[in-house]
Amino acid sequence: MEISPEIISMVVTALITFGFGLLAKKFNWSTKDYIPFQNLCIGLFSGILVYIFGFNENLLGAVILGLFASMTAGGTYDLSKMKTIDNKEDENNG
């Protein structure tokens, strides 16, 4: 598998989004209702930066990749928390 600029930009976007999500929840910057909008802004901003710096010559493609990466990172974080909550409930019930 070849590591392309698109893959690098998606991974960097996902890591930044994940970091901002952790910080937002740790320091109570926003409620859980606003974090998807935060991820949306990060995805749009990263897509535009990828286009400006020439990693992707298609603006729409760059924005879609940025949005995909940022929303995926947010969803992954939420899934990890749901699994932890489910495990605690199973321990309390069993």
> What letter does residue 21 receive in the DSSP assignment?
H
| Local structure of 35: helix, strand or coil | helix
User: In this predicted model, what pLDDT tens digit does every residue of 3-42 receive, in sequence order?
Assistant: 888 788 888 888 887 888 778 778 776 666 777 888 888 8
Burial of 31 (C-beta count, 10 Å sphere; 0-12/13-18/19+) = exposed
**Model pLDDT, residue 65:** 87
**What residues contact 13, with CB distance under 8 A and at least 6 apart?**
42, 43, 46, 65, 66, 69, 70, 73
pTM here is: 0.68
Domain positions in the chain are: 5-86
4 CB neighbour count, 10 Å cutoff: 11
